[in-house]
């Protein structure tokens, strides 16, 4: 339930939005729109260029004998043998001492989540160390780049997800609890730095619910551990980490929501927001189970809700927000299953934005849908680019996988603004922060109303 102040402001924005319905949506307006990106994976912000610099920094890539050598091997448990394998066009660049890293591309196979996850594991580093991230300086490099990204995309609020376990990798010589304390201190420094630029930065603790975590513990134990670490941050750095997240293939052993419930309820009882990836892999049933087993306020992706009306109704009645990222869904092989007598009888891959369920779930079923970037530089696109594509505007030099803009019924400007409203109202943030962002949105809309009336004179 919203407070009186929040409800009043939302009503004023709704009335203002009505006045701009039909206003043409342009690239300039979308770029100027204040944005909240509430679902961002930290390793997903690492561009191929930054990944190259990390590889060079740690000796995985070195210029010798007139070429870039990649002789340092990764861990035998790593899905890649050599660091250079994360790039699809490494061979094209290796003989240039100063390669144009803007040409560098990750080796993500279309409609293959595993290829994406392998790259994330190698770059992130903590699953099968050593990897791309090894030191606090690496984290600084990544967050500095993300700050620049937020400024470029006009993002004023963001929630970044990362497993706190990474602390044990970047501070290997410290006892685990001291390593985590140092990690929190590092992130708090960047939270302050972002605030100097008018950007509110929060973090979610995202644990891996599958066996590919590289750990001997069960998913149930990892969920509890993740919640306890959140409680730890609450005591020493309140307001730094604001929620719990779980990620990984839905089909993997250990991914069952029932196994994660104890950790989620522990986090929930201590006042943390709860989000879970669901409804993007094996069908609506996993999403259905997540809704019934976990105290979530948000579902990451959730587009397979379209398979089942009861699940759609449950989401609507619970006022749960679907935080959707349709572009990366297409790239990683989004599919909708077909059923007969509750049994799967087939599936349809989603090959273009027009076929993505976001339009029906948002427009026809009236669900609270927020738009987010997910992994803006690792297989995905920025939040701004995603908005342009959904609005039917084809950006120049979008990405190597050539996602085409929506054509059948693109989102209108007032709809894009509504997605941002849903993002900030479902953010794991204080009421004051929500009021601050919504006021900024209201001012943006008011300026549009004034300028549109002036242009009609």
127-183 pLDDT tens trace: 899 999 999 999 999 999 999 999 999 999 999 999 999 999 999 999 999 999 999
| Same domain assignment for residues 368 and 279 | yes
Q: How far apart are CA 397 and CA 246, in angstroms?
A: 33
Torsion of CA 120, 126, 129, 134, to 10 degrees: 100
Residue 260, in any domain of the structure: yes
Residues 213 and 276 in one domain: yes
Q: Which residues pair with 41 in a beta bridge?
A: 161
127 located within any domain: no
In a domain, 54, yes or no: no
Query: Same domain, yes or no, for 344 and 247?
Result: yes
pTM of the model: 0.96
- Residue 305 and residue 395 share a domain: yes
Backbone angles phi, psi at 354, to 5 degrees: -60, -30
- Same domain for 306 and 233: yes
**Chain position carrying tokens 């060079």:** 56
316 with 351, same domain? Answer: yes
Residues 280 and 321 in one domain: yes
Can you give the pLDDT at residue 398? Answer: 62
CA atoms lying within 13 Å on the CB side of residue 1: 2
- pLDDT tens string 41-60: 999 999 999 999 999 999 99
Here the tokens at position 2 are 């919203």
Kindly state whether residue 400 falls inside one of the protein's structural domains.
Answer: yes
User: Is there a single domain that holds both residue 350 and residue 391?
Assistant: yes
171 and 65 fall within a common domain: no
Domain shared by 29 and 82, yes or no: no
| Residues 86 and 193 reside in one and the same domain | no
**1 has pLDDT over 80:** no
In a domain, 256, yes or no: yes
Residue 449 lies in a domain: no
- Work out the mean pLDDT of the chain and round it to a whole number: 96
Instruction: Report H helices in 95-218.
Output: 113-124, 136-153, 166-170, 176-196
What does the alpha-carbon distance between residue 65 and residue 52 come to, in Å, rounded to a whole number?
Answer: 19
Give the chain's domain count: 2
Residue 456 has pLDDT above 90, yes or no: no
Shared domain for 66 and 143, answered yes or no, is no
The domain spanning residue 9 has which CATH number?
3.20.20.140
Show the domain range for 357: 4-49+132-444
Answer yes or no: are the C-beta atoms of 159 and 204 closer than 8 Å.
yes
Confirm whether 450 is domain-assigned: no
In a domain, 456, yes or no: no
pLDDT tens-digit profile of 14-34?
A: 999 999 999 999 999 999 999
Match 């960047």 to its residue by tokens.
190
Q: Using CA atoms, how far apart are residues 402 and 399, in angstroms rounded to an integer?
A: 6
Closest CA to 395 of 411, 412, 382, 378: 382
Angstrom CA distances, 257 to 91, 273, 438, stand at: 42, 16, 33
Rounded to whole angstroms, the Cα distance separating 359 from 322 reads 12
């Amino acid at each position: 339930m919203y407070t009186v102040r929040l409800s009043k402001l939302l009503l004023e924005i709704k009335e203002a939005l009505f006045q701009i319905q039909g206003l043409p949506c342009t690239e300039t307006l979308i770029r100027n729109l204040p944005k909240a990106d509430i679902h961002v994976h930290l390793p997903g912000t690492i561009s191929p260029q930054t990944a190259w610099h990390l590889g060079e920094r740690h000796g995985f890539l070195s210029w010798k004998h007139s070429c870039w050598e990649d002789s340092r091997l990764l861990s035998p448990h790593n899905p890649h043998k050599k660091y250079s394998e994360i790039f699809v066009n490494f061979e094209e660049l290796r003989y240039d001492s100063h390669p144009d890293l803007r040409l560098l591309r990750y080796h993500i196979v279309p409609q293959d989540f595993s290829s994406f996850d392998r790259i994330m594991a190698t770059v992130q580093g903590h699953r099968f160390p050593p990897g791309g991230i090894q030191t606090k300086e690496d984290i600084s490099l990544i967050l500095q780049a993300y700050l620049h990204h937020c400024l470029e995309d006009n993002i004023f609020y963001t929630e970044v997800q990362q497993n706190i376990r990474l602390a044990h990798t970047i501070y290997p010589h410290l006892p685990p609890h001291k390593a985590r304390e140092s990690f929190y201190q590092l992130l708090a420094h960047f939270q302050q730095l972002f605030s100097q630029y008018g950007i509110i930065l929060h973090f979610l603790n995202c644990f891996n619910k599958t066996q590919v975590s590289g750990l001997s513990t069960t998913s149930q134990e990892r969920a509890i551990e993740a919640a306890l670490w959140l409680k730890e941050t609450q005591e020493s750095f309140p307001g730094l980490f604001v929620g719990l997240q779980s990620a990984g293939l839905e089909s993997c052993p250990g991914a069952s929501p029932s196994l994660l419930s104890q950790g989620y309820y522990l986090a929930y009882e201590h006042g943390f927001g709860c989000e879970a990836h669901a409804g993007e892999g094996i069908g609506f049933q996993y999403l259905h189970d997540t809704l019934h087993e976990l105290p979530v306020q948000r579902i990451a992706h959730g587009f397979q809700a379209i398979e089942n009306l009861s699940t759609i109704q449950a989401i609507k009645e619970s006022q749960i927000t679907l935080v959707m990222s349709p572009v990366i869904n297409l790239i990683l092989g989004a599919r909708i299953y077909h059923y007969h007598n509750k049994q799967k009888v087939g599936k349809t891959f989603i090959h273009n934005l027009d076929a993505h369920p976001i339009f029906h779930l948002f427009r026809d079923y009236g669900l609270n849908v927020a738009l987010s970037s997910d992994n803006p530089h690792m297989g995905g696109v920025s939040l701004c680019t995603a908005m342009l594509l959904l609005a039917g505007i084809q950006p120049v030099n979008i990405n190597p996988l050539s996602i085409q803009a929506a054509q059948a019924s693109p989102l209108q400007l007032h709809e894009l603004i509504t997605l941002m409203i849903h993002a900030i109202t479902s953010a794991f943030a204080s009421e004051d922060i929500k009021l601050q962002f919504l006021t900024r949105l209201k001012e943006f809309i008011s300026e549009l109303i004034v300028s549109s009336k002036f242009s009609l004179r």
